[in-house]
Amino acid sequence: MKIVVTVKQVPDPNSNLGLEADNTLSREKEAVLDPGDECGVEEGLQLKEAHGGEVILVSMGPERAKDAIRKGLSMGADRGVLITDPQLAGADALLTARALAAAIKPEAPDLVICGTESYDGSTGMVPPMLAELLGIPQVTFAKKVEVDGSTLKVHRQTADGYQLVEVSTPALISVTAGIAEPRYASLKGIMAARSKEIKPVGLGDLGIEKGQPAETIEGLTDAETRKAGSVIQDDGTAVDRIIQVLVEAKVV
Amino acid sequence: MGKVWVYAELHQGSLTPTALELMAKARELGDVEAIALGAGARAAAATLGKHGAKVVHVNEDAAFDDFIAEPATDALASLHQEQAPDLILFGFTPDSRDVAGRLAARLEVGLISNAGDIAAKDGGFVAKVPYFGGAKLASMKANKKPAIVLVRPKSFEAKEVGGTAEVKDLKVTIDAGSKRAHVTERVVEASEKVKLEDARVVISGGRGMGGPDNFPLLEDLASALGGAVGASRAVVDAGWVPYSMQVGQTGKSVRPGVYIAVGISGAMQHTVGMKASKVIIAINKDAEAPIMKMADLGVVGDALKIVPALTAAVKAKKR
- Looking up residue B222, the CATH number of its domain turns out to be 3.40.50.1220
Do B129 and B24 lie in one domain? The reply is yes
Do B171 and B205 lie in one domain? The reply is no
How much is the pLDDT for B282? 97
A2-206 is classed in which CATH architecture?
A: 3-Layer(aba) Sandwich (3.40)
How much is the pLDDT for A27? 56
Q: Where are the domains of chain A?
A: 2-206
Question: Is B294 within a domain?
Answer: yes
Average pLDDT, chain A: 90
Which are the contacts of B132, defined by CB distance < 8 A and separation ≥ 6? A17, A19, A25, A220, B138, B268
The answer to whether B78 faces chain A, any CB pair under 8 Å, is no
Residues B48 and B109: beta-carbon distance below 8 Å: no
Question: Is B189 within a domain?
Answer: no
DSSP B104: H
How much is the pLDDT for B90? 98
Do B167 and B234 lie in one domain? The reply is no
Taking only the tens place, the pLDDT of each residue in B25-50 is 999 999 999 999 999 999 999 999 99
Q: Enumerate the H helices of B212-302 as residue ranges.
A: 215-225, 233-237, 268-271
Q: Domain ends where: B178, B211, B246?
A: B178
Total of domains in chain B: 2
Do B216 and B256 lie in one domain? The reply is yes
Count of A-B CB contacts under 8 Å: 276
**Range in A43-57, B107-121, B165-179, B265-279 the model is least confident about:** B265-279
Q: Domain ends where: B127, B143, B178?
A: B178
pLDDT of residue B153 exceeding 90, the answer is: no
Taking only the tens place, the pLDDT of each residue in A230-239 is 999 998 899 9
Phi and psi at residue B285, to the nearest 5°: -70, -30
Q: What residues of chain B lie within 8 A of the CB of A214, using their CB?
A: 104, 109-111, 142-144
Question: Is B78 within a domain?
Answer: yes
Question: Is B313 within a domain?
Answer: yes
pLDDT tier at A14, thresholds 50, 70, 90 = low
Do B84 and B170 lie in one domain? The reply is yes
pLDDT tier at B317, thresholds 50, 70, 90 = confident
- To the nearest whole angstrom, how far is the Cα of B197 from the nearest Cα of chain A? 10
Using CA atoms, how far apart are residues A123 and B110, in angstroms rounded to an integer? Answer: 12
pLDDT tier at A17, thresholds 50, 70, 90 = low
pLDDT of residue A55 exceeding 80, the answer is: yes
Q: How many residues are there in chain B? A: 319
pLDDT tier at A19, thresholds 50, 70, 90 = low
Range of the domain at B306: 201-318
Do B287 and B239 lie in one domain? The reply is yes
Q: What residues of chain B lie within 8 A of the CB of A125, using their CB?
A: 97, 100-101, 104, 111, 113, 150
Contact A137 B97 (CB under 8 A): no
Closest to B254 measured CA to CA, from B238, B232, B287, B221: B232
Which of A17, A29, A152, A215 to substitute to test the interface with B, most B CBs within 10 Å? A215
How much is the pLDDT for A18? 61
Average pLDDT, chain B: 93
How much is the pLDDT for A252? 87
Using CA atoms, how far apart are residues B166 and B161, in angstroms rounded to an integer? Answer: 16
Residues A192 and A158: beta-carbon distance below 8 Å: no
Contact B258 A249 (CB under 8 A): yes
Do B28 and B158 lie in one domain? The reply is yes
Contact A219 B138 (CB under 8 A): yes
Do B270 and B309 lie in one domain? The reply is yes
Using CA atoms, how far apart are residues B142 and B112, in angstroms rounded to an integer? Answer: 7
Partners of B198 in beta bridges: none
Do B163 and B56 lie in one domain? The reply is yes
pLDDT tier at B253, thresholds 50, 70, 90 = confident
Do B133 and B255 lie in one domain? The reply is no
Do B144 and B73 lie in one domain? The reply is yes
CATH code, B104 = 3.40.50.620
Kind of pairing, strands A161-168 and B182-188?
antiparallel
Q: Enumerate the H helices of B83-192 as residue ranges.
A: 94-107
Contact A246 B258 (CB under 8 A): yes
| Burial grade of B288 (CB within 10 A; 0-12, 13-18, 19 or more) | exposed
Question: Average of pLDDT values for B3-19?
Answer: 95
How much is the pLDDT for B25? 97
End-to-end CA distance of chain B: 58
Residues B235 and B241: beta-carbon distance below 8 Å: yes
Phi and psi at residue A147, to the nearest 5°: -110, 130
Using CA atoms, how far apart are residues B141 and B85, in angstroms rounded to an integer? Answer: 17
**Range in A192-201, B54-63, B230-239 the model is least confident about:** B230-239
Amino acid letter for position B242:
P
Do B125 and B247 lie in one domain? The reply is no
Q: Enumerate the H helices of B161-230 as residue ranges.
A: 215-225
> ipTM of this model?
0.89
| Burial grade of A189 (CB within 10 A; 0-12, 13-18, 19 or more) | middle
- For the whole model, what pTM was predicted? 0.86
What CA–CA distances, in Å, run from B202 to B219, B273, B317? 10, 12, 19
Amino acid letter for position A167:
V
DSSP H or E stretch at residue B283: strand B279-284
